[in-house]
C-alpha cells in the first residue's frame, strides 16, 4: 500500500517516540486510541483515523469498524495529557476550522 511504502512503521513501533492516533468505534460511538505503547501500529490504524464519512468507508480492525476520530473530538489533547510520560512532552494540536461562525442552514454549509 502507499502508506507502507511511505511510512517507516518499524521506526514508529520502535517506541523511540510515542505515537497515538484516535478513531471512533462505529458500533459504540466511543473514541479509541491506537498507541504504539500498547500495540503495533500499522497502515490500518492511520487509515481508520482518517476515514471521514461519507467520503471514506469505515476501516475494519480486528472485526470492529472505525471512522475518523474527529467525528467525536477533533483535537483530543486530553488523551495526550493523561498519558504523557515523566519527561518533557511536545504536543502539536492543529485546529483546521474555527469553532465560531454562522449557523449552517443546510448540509453543504455544515461541511
Q: For residue range 36-64, what is the model confidence (pLDDT) as tens digits?
A: 999 999 999 999 999 999 999 999 999 99
pLDDT digit string, tens, across residues 3-16? 999 999 999 999 88
Phi, psi at 25, each rounded to 5°: -75, 115
Closest CA to 22 of 92, 74, 81: 74
Q: Where are the domains of the chain?
A: 2-101
Instruction: Say yes or no to pLDDT of 111 above 70.
Output: no
Q: Specify the pTM.
A: 0.76
Helix (H) or strand (E) holding 36: none
- Say if residue 54 is preceded by a cis peptide, omega within 30 of 0: yes
Question: What is the side-by-side strand order in the sheet with 59-61?
Answer: 31-35, 20-25, 64-68, 59-61
Q: Could you tell me which residue, 65 or 72, shows the higher pLDDT?
A: 65
pLDDT digit string, tens, across residues 15-31? 888 899 999 999 999 99
Amino acid at each position: 500500500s502507499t502508506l507502507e511504502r511511505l511510512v517507516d512503521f518499524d521506526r514508529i513501533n520502535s517506541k523511540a517516540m510515542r505515537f497515538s492516533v484516535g478513531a471512533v468505534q462505529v458500533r459504540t460511538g466511543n473514541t479509541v486510541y491506537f498507541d504504539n505503547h500498547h500495540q503495533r501500529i500499522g497502515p490500518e490504524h492511520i487509515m481508520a483515523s482518517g476515514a471521514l464519512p461519507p467520503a471514506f468507508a469505515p476501516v475494519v480492525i480486528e472485526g470492529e469498524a472505525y471512522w475518523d476520530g474527529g467525528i467525536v473530538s477533533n483535537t483530543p489533547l486530553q488523551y495526550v495529557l493523561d498519558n504523557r510520560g515523566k519527561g518533557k512532552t511536545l504536543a502539536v494540536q492543529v485546529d483546521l476550522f474555527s469553532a465560531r461562525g454562522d449557523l449552517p442552514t443546510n448540509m453543504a454549509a455544515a461541511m
